[in-house]
Amino acid sequence: MAILAFQQPDKVIMIQSDEFKGVFEFRPLEPGFGITIGNALRRILLSSLEGFAITSVRIEGVDHEFSSIKGVMQDVTEMILNLKQIRFRRLVESETFEKVHVVLGESDVFKAGDINKFLTNFQVLNPELEICRMEHNVKMKIDLTIQKGRGYISAEDNKDINAPLGTIAMDSIHSPVKNVKYTIENYRVEQKTDYERLVFEIITDGSLHPKDALKEAARVLIHHFMLFSDEKITVKLDKEPITSPDELDENATHIRQLLVTKLTDMDLSVRALNCLKAAELVTLGQLVSYSNKNDLLKFRNFGKKSLTELDNMVKAKGLEFGMKLEKYKLDKFELPEPPNPDEESEKTEKTEKTEKATKSGKPEKAEKVEKASKPEKAEKAEKPEKASKSEKPEKAYKPEKATKPEKSSKSNKS
């Protein structure tokens, strides 16, 4: 696709430049591009350029940074804060590291310029910086480590495990840029006045020229933006093939219907169906929810032939044991929780034990029942007799005694 006419500058104009300060102009820019480019370059200039700084210090007779030195006005903490401000320029291009052994004596002030006497690969750019004040007769031996870095590095990252005892790691600021300021002004191109002009003001410590600092920052941004070009963009493919949403929905619906299908509707043998009924497995989803198919063998009367038949049936349907069923969003009514095979095996073991116990203990129990049943029968037999004696229906048989009219009939006959 062709891009419409895009207004952009042909070059960067350097208005002012020396070792410490540079002013640059970038015009004309489309509306909104001034703050976009200015903010990005400013962040890179302040945080991502390389420089040199002291990363650790070791003072003879000092064990830690909270100590004080006899005859020195400042304590060790204040001395370290001043050492952080020393700026270095590299004299030998191939060198990125140097250890300096500084010896001080017969002096009232320790300045950063005193370190220059002992340096070989670097030069101090702010020699008038005071590190500490001390008495004239005080002697100090200081070991300094100068290293290359980017931006700000904490003392924890500057710690060296192999450093000698008494070495104090320091926070280090390696960025050669002290300050960056940019302004956006309106700029006119022919009849249009809404274009922008970007003005950059860069202040460095002298170790890097402002022009080189701007080039380095732009180079960092370009290396990052090049990754977004057409040649660099690649598609990361997962192990599973990418399918369209329609295919995913159709496949998920089909599998969901299979999971809800009852096992009785499958072409299974009677033996396998009886085993499933005994295990209280109703749907195909309950069956494939077992992560290990061998767990089915724990159910009662469940054999390897039935397991093989079920395994072949599951594979034929395109399913597998141990499927994750959460993504198919089945209700509890559609897919109840399958029974626990360990609990079922415990139940079968208990039932088998009770059956064996009943088979082996039948005669003993029968004898006990017979012995115990005899007195019960006797009691039961006695109870009706007592009841018959105590019952009053016999008194109702008094009509036998009341058959006196027969005698009277005999007397009448006579």
DSSP 362-392: HHHHHHHHHHHHHHHHHHHHHHHHHHHHH-S
pLDDT at 294 over 80: no
Please determine, for residue 35, whether its predicted confidence score (pLDDT) is greater than 90: yes
Percent of the chain with pLDDT over 90: 35
Judged against a pLDDT cut of 60, whether residue 364 lies above it is answered with no
CB atoms within 10 A of CB 52: 24
Distance CA 321, CA 142 (A): 71
- The amino acid present at 348, given as its one-letter code, is T
pLDDT of residue 308: 83
In this structure, what DSSP letter does residue 340 have?
P
CA 171 to chain centre: 31
Q: What is the mean pLDDT of residues 262-268?
A: 77
The Cα–Cα gap between 154 and 158 comes to 6
- Amino acid letter for position 3: I
CATH code, 50-173: 2.170.120.12
Both structure tokens of 138: 């005080």
In this model, does residue 391 exceed pLDDT 50? no
Higher pLDDT, 242 or 231: 231
Residue 303, pLDDT score? 77
- Rounded average pLDDT over 98-117: 91
Question: What pTM was computed for the model?
Answer: 0.53
Q: In this model, does residue 407 exceed pLDDT 50?
A: no
According to DSSP, the β-strands at 177-189 and 172-173 are unpaired
Confidence of residue 171 (pLDDT cuts 50, 70, 90): very high
Contact of 196 with 58, CB cutoff 8 Å: no
Q: Where are the domains of the chain?
A: 12-48+177-228, 50-173, 246-350
22 strand-pairing partners? 17, 202
Q: How high is the pLDDT of residue 397?
A: 47
Q: 134 - beta bridge partners? A: 72
Give CA–CA dist 303/286, Å, rounded: 18
pLDDT confidence of residue 355: 64
Name the residue among 264, 259, 304, 257 with its Cα closest to residue 280.
Answer: 264
- What are the two backbone dihedrals, phi and then psi, of residue 166, each rounded to the nearest 5 degrees? 95, -5
- How does 74-102 read in b/e, with b if 16+ C-beta sit within 10 Å? bebeebbebbeebbbbbeeeeeeebebeb
Q: Which pLDDT tens digit goes with each residue over 330-350? A: 655 455 566 666 665 565 566
CATH superfamily, domain at 12-48+177-228: RNA polymerase, RBP11-like subunit (3.30.1360.10)
**Considering only CA atoms, which of 267, 269, 305, 313 is closest in space to residue 287?**
313
Of the ranges 122-131, 151-160, 182-191, 300-309, which one carries the lowest mean pLDDT score? 300-309
Sequence-distant (6+) residues with CB within 8 A of 229 are none
User: What is the per-residue pLDDT for 249?
Assistant: 59
Which SS3 state, helix, strand or coil, does residue 163 take? coil
Domain 246-350 fold? DNA polymerase; domain 1 (1.10.150)
pLDDT interval class at 256 (50, 70, 90): confident
Task: Say yes or no to pLDDT of 10 above 70.
Answer: yes
**CA pseudo-torsion sign 394, 398, 400, 401:** positive
Alpha-carbon Rg of the chain, whole angstroms?
Answer: 51
pLDDT tier for residue 119 given thresholds of 50, 70 and 90: very high
Q: Is 374 exposed, middle or buried (0-12, 13-18, 19+ CB in 10 A)?
A: exposed
- Name the E strands within 60-162: 88-90, 97-104, 109-111, 122-124, 130-133, 140-150, 152-153
